A and B are shown apart, each in its own frame.
Chain A
């Protein structure tokens, strides 16, 4: 069965927003595609590498929060988390200081 194309939104926050100079992008991807593959596509579209700031291989770097509709992907399937039509991915490292 051929997978249908879906739309996802990726929002960048804080240091990543400054680095990429972009707030959010929308991408057309295949239904059920995992988050790592989608973020790679985002890299291609933006034409600037940023995955090295978030992942070491398929392991999420400490201090990074990647949320799918508000759920941290560590509470889902990590880098293998599958994305559905209309999902919003938010990427940001929270500030810990006071």
Chain B
């Protein structure tokens, strides 16, 4: 029965690649706009286990792009609402909520095979340099205004402070303007790169894909490792 749901994926990828996804555990950091759309794709693609990690509750301005949430969910914990809705897709329990802040002392569950960065600030991203084990692959996405970027790397070979050396969040930073169409597009590209990484065929390894929605241009910028 379960494999019937994934019949079209298996036709596309072959059974071996599908089984690689079934045997993988993806930890998604941040349960906002990127995560809502990314987790939806990962569940529907047959990823074996997904951890959702976030400490936030749902606010009205989240609903413009955080596609798992509706008005009835306002004030509820994001990871709990998201997990329930995602697990309802196939009536499975592949998604596990972790209601927690992510700081340098956060420890990812031992069975994590890949970390997806769907965070909304740079300071928390930098804490992943300490909390993600060396050797674990990371797929990172970020959006703002009318553009976003995606990059993948292996923690220890590269790290966030090397990739973004000149960035930090100011204390009184206003939330960035973001819209559904861009967030969904960037989340979709993250999903594809997660599959690529799990299949040992990363396309964006140490390479930014900059997605410009203003003129629909996609550019790759290779990042040197120090």
Contact = CB atoms under 8 A, between A and B. Distances in A.
Contact-residue bracket for chain A: 20 to 34
Contacts of B89: none
B184 interface: no
Interface stretch (A1-9, A36-44, A64-72): A64-72
Given A97-B178, A98-B119, A63 B212 contact: no
A74 B222 CA distance: 16
Interface string A67-98: 10111101100000000000000101011111
A95 B176 contact: yes
Given A67-B221, A96-B121, A96-B122, A14 B145 contact: yes
Interface residues of B, number: 43
Contacts of A64: 166
A95 B224 contact: no
Interface stretch (B14-22, B167-175, B195-203): B167-175
22 contacts: A13-B212, A13-B219, A15-B147, A63-B167, A64-B166, A65-B164, A69-B224, A75-B224, A92-B221, A94-B164, A95-B144, A96-B142, A96-B167, A97-B144, A97-B176, A98-B30, A98-B32, A98-B33, A98-B118, A98-B119, A98-B120, A98-B141
Given A18-B214, A96-B176, A98-B183, 8 more contacts: A13-B212, A14-B145, A18-B146, A72-B165, A92-B221, A94-B142, A98-B119, A98-B143
